[in-house]
């Protein structure tokens, strides 16, 4: 009787740990665990899972290390959980060590363990190791296939992901919602509209209930958004019976991507009024929209909102706020937030370095780069790109060269084409053409012709698949409203007045400071006269023209213009002249950096 009672207690308490953990109360789960007179492997594993589910991967691994000193032997679930915890932490060495334990105990042949190992290697960037695990698994299940397809899709190797998606079905495996989600993600990263549409069509044919659920249908919305088929995305979204925050935010971002900011904001307000809770994921991506469009007011409101919700302190949310301030040109606000953030990861530091780099404040970028390492945060390849670019923009040649060589000599990192391009830029800017050439020759990639082929291939693909490439556009905020202009845009109701204002400014600048058009920046295959005309149609000039005609400069000392591509040379000269003649500061954010035009000069030093 007594024995039976004890056994019941054990099962009951294990269930209690699981239940409390799943309800988000790890403390209670922990106290049950502590008070148990007797524990088995399930007790340990349940609490490890509890920590993990509640975001404390570290505590999960600490507990795992204590299993060894207890009288309990870990089983396949314990090991799988430990692997997942080290995956979340992103420490490869940790995961490899546990992989070793699995191999020694023969638990690596259990699918649940093998699947976790595959996932761990993919998330740590070891694709080869992941594939080897999959190839040598004695028993595979649906999750094994899912882990592989998800892994390749995450790696942006859509072809391999889709190969496996086909192969598993040939072998008789029936895809589930995870499989479809990853397969659709693979389709969007290849940018092949037809492949994803086929999956969509198959789901319709099967009368699949997945189309009414937010997971698969949400992935389908994302797919159409990425393929720039916003109308189709909307159709799929509208038919989801149980929408969740992810499907909402996907569509919101989709409309923003199409420059349909009114619809994007409209959906956001609908989302806020709905019963769905906005979470950290949604918040950070929406703040990303405000950053892209430099919507300072909305961005600040969202920051204020973030400080009032528990998930607002998550690094991902705080990082997006940092980035928003930087992209809006508010470096002081970004700095203040950065200093008070409780948790700063590699992205936080990279955002700051990128931001200062784009503002041409190289010394601050360099200082942060050194400081982050003192704090024990290792820069990754994006951080290096940020600091190299900052050095280039600020003319810090020596520093840039030092960082580049330390990056090259690090056995854990491999410079990519972008890093070389940045260095060539840095050397070229200081007139060290010989060194720039030497660097190009030393590159482990094929220079020029190789890139040309690659970009030709992409352009060909874009044409074939009917994808749209990003059109040049600029925008300006006047009276809290965003006005977007495309190159050659003539749709604005005030377009006549805008052109008239621009012509008047040209004339005045010509008389006062000798401004002339630089037609080298115009299209090559048009007559001289229309070249001048075509320059006047550049989106950044149109945006400035609107500021002029709407009286936006009256009483304003600063005008902010934003462009998705790089500012053109003639426009650059034009705005320099305007800043002198009108005695106004123009701040232009282009794809590459910030330009601050004041009294006829630009902060970029005419090099960008």
Partner DNA sequence: CACCTGGTGC
CB of 291 to DNA, least distance (A): 7
Q: Does 335 bind DNA (CB under 7 A)?
A: no
Q: In this chain, which of 182, 392, 564, 579 binds DNA, going by CB under 7 A? A: 182
Q: What is the rounded distance in angstroms from the CA atom of residue 476 to the CA atom of residue 317?
A: 26
Smaller CB separation from DNA, 42 or 436: 42
Applying CB under 7 A, among 13, 60, 215, 392 the residue interacting with DNA is 215
* Chain centroid offset of residue 600 CA: 36
Which region, judged by CB under 7 A, interacts with DNA, from 54-62, 98-106, 143-151, 465-473?
143-151
Cα separation, 326 vs 351, whole angstroms: 8
Of 13, 54, 81, 573, which one interacts with DNA (CB under 7 A)?
81
Tokens of 548: 């002029």
* Contact between 143 and DNA per CB under 7 A: yes
Burial 141-156 (b: 16+ CB within 10 A, else e): ebbbbbbbbbbbbbbe
- Judge whether 65 and 40 are in contact, CB under 8 Å: no
Shortest CB 287 distance to DNA, Å = 8
Subset of 362-421 contacting DNA (CB under 7 A): 380-383, 385-386, 389, 418
Burial class (CB in 10 A: 0-12, 13-18, 19+), 166: exposed
Stretch that binds DNA, among 142-150, 160-168, 447-455, 508-516 (CB under 7 A): 142-150
Map the footprint of DNA across residues 517-546, applying CB under 7 A: none
State both tokens at 308. 């009032």
Q: d(Cα 179, Cα 208) in Å, to the nearest integer?
A: 14
Six token digits for residue 140? 């595979």
Work out whether strand 558-563 and strand 481-486 pair parallel, antiparallel, or are unpaired.
unpaired
Closest contact distance (angstroms) between CB of 251 and DNA is 12
Q: How far is the CB of 121 from DNA (least distance, A)?
A: 11
Using the minimum distance from each CB to DNA, give the nearer residue, 75 or 539: 75
Residue 471: which of 391, 537, 397 has the closest Cα? 537
- Residues contacting residue 396 through CB under 8 Å, at least 6 positions apart: 362, 363, 366, 390
Q: How many Å apart are CA 195 and CA 162, to the nearest integer?
A: 9
Considering only residues 49 to 68 of the shown chain, the ones binding DNA according to CB under 7 A are 49, 52-53
Binding mask 556-585 for DNA (x = CB under 7 A): ------------------------------
Using CB under 7 A as the binding rule, whether residue 306 contacts DNA is answered as no
Minimum Å distance from CB 32 to DNA? 13
Q: Among all chains, which residue has been given the structure tokens 């899972």?
A: 49
Q: Which segments of 108-176 does DSSP mark as H helices, in order?
A: 111-123, 127-136, 142-154, 158-170
From candidates 25, 31, 109, 141, binder to DNA by CB under 7 A: 141
Q: Least distance (Å) from DNA to the CB of residue 474?
A: 18
Determine the Cα–Cα distance for residues 534 and 539; give it in Å rounded to an integer.
10
> Residue from 146, 401, 564, 573 that binds DNA (CB under 7 A)?
146
- Determine if 105 is a binding residue for DNA (CB under 7 A): no
User: Which residue stretch of 28-36, 59-67, 138-146, 405-413 sits at the interface with DNA (rule: CB under 7 A)?
Assistant: 138-146
Looking at the Cβ atoms of 123 and 538, the one nearer to DNA is 123
Phi/psi for 586 (5° steps) reads -110, 130
Q: What is the distance between the alpha carbons of residues 140 and 168, in angstroms, rounded to a whole number? A: 11
Cβ proximity to DNA, 90 vs 552, nearer residue: 90
Among 13, 181, 564, 579, binds DNA (CB under 7 A): 181
CA dist 37 and 10 (Å) reads 9
Six-digit token pair at 151?
A: 């892994």
Taking the least distance from each CB to DNA, the nearer of 390 and 549 is 390
- Binding DNA by CB under 7 A: which of 133, 221, 246, 578? 246
| Binding to DNA in span 276-305, by CB under 7 A | 280-281, 284-285, 288, 291
Q: Which is nearer to DNA, 146 or 331 (CB)?
A: 146
Binding residue (CB under 7 A) for DNA from 60, 115, 331, 579: 115
> Residue for token digits 């401004």?
515
- Interaction between residue 41 and DNA (CB under 7 A): yes
- Shortest reach from residue 549's CB to DNA, in Å: 32
Cβ atoms of 595 and 588 within 8 Å: the answer is yes
Q: Does 350 bind DNA (CB under 7 A)?
A: yes
Applying CB under 7 A, does 260 fall inside the site for DNA?
Answer: no
Q: Going by C-beta distance under 8 Å and a sequence separation of 6 or more, which residues neighbour residue 514?
A: none
DSSP 118: H
Q: Which stretch binds DNA (CB under 7 A): 161-169, 171-179, 334-342, 507-515?
A: 171-179
Residue 314 touching DNA (CB under 7 A) = yes
Short-list 242, 190, 198, CA closest to 220: 198
**Angle, vertex CA 604, rays to CA 598 and CA 605, nearest 5:** 85
CB 116, min distance to DNA, A: 5
Looking at beta carbons only, is 88 or 494 nearer to DNA? 88
- Per rule CB under 7 A, is residue 18 in the interface with DNA? yes
Q: Does 84 bind DNA (CB under 7 A)?
A: yes
Q: Report in angstroms how near the CB of residue 581 gets to DNA at its nearest.
A: 33
Judged by DSSP in three states, 456 sits in: helix
Judged by CB under 7 A, which of 354, 392, 401, 539 binds DNA?
Answer: 354
């Amino acid at each position: 009787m007594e024995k039976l009672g004890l056994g019941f207690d054990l099962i009951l308490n294990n269930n209690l740990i699981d239940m409390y953990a799943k309800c988000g109360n790890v403390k209670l789960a922990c106290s049950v665990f502590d008070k148990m007179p007797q524990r088995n492997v399930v007790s340990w594993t349940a609490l490890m899972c509890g920590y993990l589910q509640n975001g404390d991967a570290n505590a999960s691994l600490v507990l795992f290390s204590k299993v060894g000193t207890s009288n309990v032997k870990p089983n396949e679930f314990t090991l799988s959980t430990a692997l997942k915890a080290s995956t979340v932490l992103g420490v490869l060495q940790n995961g490899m060590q546990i992989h070793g334990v699995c191999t020694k105990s023969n638990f690596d042949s259990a699918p649940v363990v093998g699947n976790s190992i595959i996932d761990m290697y993919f998330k740590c960037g070891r694709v080869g190791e992941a594939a080897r695990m999959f190839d040598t698994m004695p028993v595979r299940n649906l999750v094994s296939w899912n882990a592989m397809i998800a892994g390749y899709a995450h790696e942006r190797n859509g072809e391999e992901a889709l190969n496996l998606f086909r192969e598993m079905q040939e072998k008789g495996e029936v895809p589930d919602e995870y499989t479809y989600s990853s397969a659709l993600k693979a389709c969007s990263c290849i940018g092949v509209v037809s492949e994803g549409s086929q999956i969509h069509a198959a789901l319709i044919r099967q009368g699949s209930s997945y189309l009414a659920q937010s997971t698969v249908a949400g992935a389908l919305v994302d797919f159409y958004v990425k393929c720039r088929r916003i109308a189709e995305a909307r159709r799929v979204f509208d038919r989801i019976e149980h929408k969740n925050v992810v499907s909402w935010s996907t569509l919101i971002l989709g409309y923003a991507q199409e420059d349909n900011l009114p619809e994007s904001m409209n959906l956001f307000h609908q989302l806020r009024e709905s019963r769905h809770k906005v979470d950290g994921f949604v918040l950070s991506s929406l703040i990303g929209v405000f950053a892209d469009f430099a919507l300072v007011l909305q961005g600040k409101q969202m920051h204020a909102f973030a400080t009032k919700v528990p998930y607002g302190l998550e690094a991902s949310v705080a990082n997006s706020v940092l980035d928003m301030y930087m992209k809006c040109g508010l470096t002081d606000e970004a700095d203040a937030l950065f200093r008070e953030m409780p948790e700063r990861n590699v992205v936080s530091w990279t955002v700051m370095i990128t931001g200062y780099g784009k503002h041409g404040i190289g010394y601050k970028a360099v200082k942060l780069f050194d400081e982050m390492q003192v704090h024990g945060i290792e820069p990754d390849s994006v951080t290096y790109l940020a600091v190299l670019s900052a050095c280039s923009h600020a003319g810090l040649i020596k520093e840039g060269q030092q960082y580049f060589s330390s990056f090259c000599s690090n056995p854990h990192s491999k410079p990519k084409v972008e890093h070389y391009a940045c260095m060539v830029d840095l050397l070229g800017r200081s007139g060290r053409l010989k060194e720039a050439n030497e660097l190009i020759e030393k590159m482990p990639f094929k220079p020029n012709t190789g890139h040309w082929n690659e970009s030709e291939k992409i352009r060909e693909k874009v044409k074939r698949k009917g994808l749209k490439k990003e059109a040049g556009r600029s925008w300006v905020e006047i009276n809290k409203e965003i006005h977007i202009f495309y190159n050659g845009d003539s749709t604005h109701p005030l377009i006549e007045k805008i052109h008239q204002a621009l012509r008047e400014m040209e004339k005045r600048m010509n008389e006062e400071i000798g401004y002339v058009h630089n037609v080298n920046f115009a299209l090559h295959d048009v007559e001289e006269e229309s070249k001048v005309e075509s320059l006047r149609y550049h989106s950044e000039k149109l945006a400035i023209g609107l500021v002029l005609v709407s009286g936006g400069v009256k009483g304003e000392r600063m005008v902010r213009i934003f462009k998705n591509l790089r500012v053109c040379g003639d426009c650059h000269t034009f705005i320099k002249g305007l800043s002198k003649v009108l005695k106004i500061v123009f701040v232009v954010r282009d794809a590459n950096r910030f330009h601050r035009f004041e009294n006829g000069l630009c902060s970029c030093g005419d090099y960008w």
